[in-house]
């Protein structure tokens, strides 16, 4: 009997990111238009496992995802032990552009969720010429803190347990149990302070409310998909971006903040029509 | 609804295991009705309805009766599925010594949502 390998391949990429050497873990599956996927805060590329195993997606798209530095199987930069990790808009934008260059991607589609759904708004604003299209999952122009994030990294609270506990309610109550708990497992495996460091971008530095009106979807098409159960990036916040930019937005039923990971089957049913539109561009 | 918490929690061996290091008393406030819930080694060992003169507890969750009733439906409406969803909308306050709550968040979320399971039966 032959081994039952998935069609996903993973490799380590050596590159300079933001002026420093990095070792990055990159996964991909499929062939066609490059679709660069950006995971949520405090998680990693495994969130896109459903997409990369779905022939309806991979038959026309080369689906690529990378673990951000500090996340998943990517290393933090040398000297990490002496700094507090904090993600900024400037570094996040640069990282995505430099990864796309290092992979020699020709006008990729970038699709990000949560912090990734925020950064595609920054990409739409700063680098529309670099992308064929942008897909924002759970996009909001800003999210105010709604709990004290210092709980996420302190020695007397288990970081994996509390990070999973904080995000667990963002998953739709209708999500299949195995996918729900796989999604939470990724959060449980995040390094100390990494989720908290990402939230610096999400709740402080990444606020793009004052530039949403300047996004020109004629320069780079933008598509918005948000799960109805997401109370962090709310439907209202996504619809506000849609109203201000003219980008089409769909509120997805029975999905929450992690659509591609918490219920891949349900999510792909919403993604396929968007990918069809992108193929027709 | 609140009187179903002990039965649901104590019948759930996996939930008890998740909370095996929990030893605290917390308070649920439904409007001005207060209840103290004592937890020892993951089991609910005492439920004491108020009123109280000097209630002794680590943390409290406070919301209106209308909010709790929606939260405890077997499939709650949008925005009422999670404690943090309520806190974000300022429909619930979580206050006091939050350490036992945050250090055992996945446990307490299921304990506090336990009436959903009882309602579904």
Interface confidence, given as ipTM, is 0.96
Mean of pLDDT values over A132-161: 97
Q: What is the pLDDT of residue A261?
A: 98
Whether pLDDT at A132 is above 90:
yes
Q: Please indicate if any CB of chain B lies within 8 Å of the CB of A232.
A: yes
Q: Which two tokens stand for residue A137?
A: 């999952």
The answer to whether residue A205 is domain-embedded is: yes
**Exposed / middle / buried, residue A150 (Cβ in 10 Å: 0-12, 13-18, 19+):** exposed
User: For the segment A5-43, what is each residue's pLDDT rounded down to a tens digit?
Assistant: 999 999 999 999 999 999 999 999 999 999 999 999 999
Whether pLDDT at A1 is above 90:
no
Q: What is the pLDDT of residue B1?
A: 87
Beta bridge partners of B61: B28, B94
- Note whether B102 contacts A173, CB cutoff 8 Å: no
Mean of pLDDT values over B77-94: 98
Mean of pLDDT values over A235-253: 98
Rounded percentage of chain A residues whose pLDDT exceeds 90: 100
Q: What is the pLDDT of residue A15?
A: 98
Mean of pLDDT values over A171-182: 98
Q: What is the pLDDT of residue A266?
A: 98
Mean of pLDDT values over A245-270: 98
The answer to whether residue A28 is domain-embedded is: yes
Q: What is the CATH number of the domain that holds A89?
A: 3.40.50.1820
Whether pLDDT at B97 is above 80:
yes
- Among B79, B102, B109, the residue with its CB nearest the CB of A231 is B79
Q: Using CA atoms, how far apart are residues A164 and A139, in angstroms rounded to an integer?
A: 21
Contact A222, A120 (CB under 8 A): yes
Q: What is the pLDDT of residue A94?
A: 98
Output the CA torsion B105→B107→B109→B115 (10° steps). -160
Q: Please indicate if any CB of chain B lies within 8 Å of the CB of A185.
A: no
- Note whether B84 contacts A228, CB cutoff 8 Å: no
pLDDT band at residue B119, thresholds of 50, 70 and 90? confident
- Note whether A169 contacts B83, CB cutoff 8 Å: yes
Q: Which two tokens stand for residue A267?
A: 């999510």
The distance of A252 to chain B (nearest Cα, Å) reads 13
Contacts of A113 (CB under 8 A, 6+ apart): A38, A39, A40, A47, A137, A138, A257, A258, A259, A260
Domains, chain B, ordered by start:
2-64+93-115 (3.30.1050.10)
Whether pLDDT at A67 is above 80:
yes
Cβ-based contacts of A156 with chain B (< 8 Å)? 99, 103
Mean of pLDDT values over B89-116: 98
Measured from the Cβ of residue A266, the count of other Cβ atoms closer than 10 Å reads: 21
- Enter the DSSP assignment of A122: H
For residue A22, what are the CA distances in angstroms to A38, A80, A86, A197, B98?
Answer: 17, 12, 17, 18, 38
Chain centroid, CA A264 distance in Å: 14
Mean pLDDT in chain A?
98
The answer to whether residue A4 is domain-embedded is: no
Closest alpha carbon within chain A to B78: A229
Contact B38, B44 (CB under 8 A): yes
- Note whether B109 contacts A156, CB cutoff 8 Å: no
- Note whether B102 contacts A165, CB cutoff 8 Å: yes
User: For the segment A79-91, what is each residue's pLDDT rounded down to a tens digit?
Assistant: 999 999 999 999 9
Q: What is the pLDDT of residue B120?
A: 81
Contact A128, A121 (CB under 8 A): no
- Note whether A232 contacts B83, CB cutoff 8 Å: no
The answer to whether residue A144 is domain-embedded is: yes
The distance of A188 to chain B (nearest Cα, Å) reads 12
- Domain holding A203, by residue range, is 9-279
Whether pLDDT at B121 is above 80:
no
Q: Please indicate if any CB of chain A lies within 8 Å of the CB of B79.
A: yes
Whether pLDDT at B118 is above 90:
no
Work out how many domains chain A is built from and give that number. 1
- Note whether A169 contacts B82, CB cutoff 8 Å: yes
The answer to whether residue A2 is domain-embedded is: no
H-helix or E-strand containing A160?
A: helix A159-167
Phi, psi of B101 (to 5 degrees): -65, -50
Contact B107, B66 (CB under 8 A): no
Best probe of the B interface among A148, A165, A235, A236, by most B CBs < 10 A, is A165
Cβ-based contacts of B87 with chain A (< 8 Å)? 146-147
């Amino acid at each position: 009997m032959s081994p039952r390998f998935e069609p996903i391949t993973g490799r380590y990429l050596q590159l300079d990111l933001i002026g420093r050497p990095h070792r990055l873990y990159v996964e991909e599956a499929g062939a066609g238009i490059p679709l660069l996927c950006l995971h949520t805060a405090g998680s990693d590329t495994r969130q896109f496992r459903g997409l990369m195993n779905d022939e309806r997606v991979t038959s026309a798209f080369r689906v690529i995802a990378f673990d951000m530095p500090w996340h998943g199987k990517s290393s933090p930069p040398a000297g990490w032990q002496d700094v507090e990790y904090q993600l900024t808009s400037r570094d996040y934008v640069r990282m995505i552009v430099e990864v796309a260059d290092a992979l020699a991607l020709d006008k990729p589609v970038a699709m990000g969720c949560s912090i990734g759904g925020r950064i595609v708004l920054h990409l739409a604003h700063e680098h529309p010429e670099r992308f064929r299209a942008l897909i924002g999952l759970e996009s909001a122009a800003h999210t105010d803190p709604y709990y004290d994030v210092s709980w996420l990294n302190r020695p007397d609270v288990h970081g994996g347990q509390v990070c999973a506990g904080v995000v667990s309610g963002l998953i739709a109550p209708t999500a299949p149990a195995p996918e729900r708990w796989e999604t939470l497992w990724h959060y449980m495996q995040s390094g100390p302070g990494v989720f908290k460091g990402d939230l610096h971008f999400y709740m402080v530095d990444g606020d793009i409310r004052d530039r949403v009106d300047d996004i020109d979807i004629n320069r780079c098409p933008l598509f918005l998909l948000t799960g109805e159960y997401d109370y962090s990036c709310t439907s209202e916040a996504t619809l506000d971006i849609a109203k201000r930019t003219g980008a089409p937005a769909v509120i997805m039923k029975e999905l929450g903040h992690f659509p591609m990971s918490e219920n891949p089957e349900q999510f792909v049913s919403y993604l396929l029509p968007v990918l069809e539109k992108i193929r027709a561009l | 609804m609140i009187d179903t918490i002990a039965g649901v929690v104590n019948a759930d061996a996996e939930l008890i295991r998740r909370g095996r290091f929990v030893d605290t008393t917390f308070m649920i406030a439904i409007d001005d009705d207060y209840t103290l819930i004592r937890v020892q080694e993951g089991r609910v060992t005492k439920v004491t309805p108020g009123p109280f003169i000097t209630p002794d507890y680590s943390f409290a969750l406070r919301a209106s009766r209308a909010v709790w009733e929606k939260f405890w439906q077997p499939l709650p409406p949008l925005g009422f599925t999670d404690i943090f969803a309520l806190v974000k909308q300022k429909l619930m306050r979580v206050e006091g010594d939050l350490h036992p709550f945050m250090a055992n968040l996945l446990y307490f979320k299921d304990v506090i949502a336990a009436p959903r399971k009882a309602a579904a039966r």
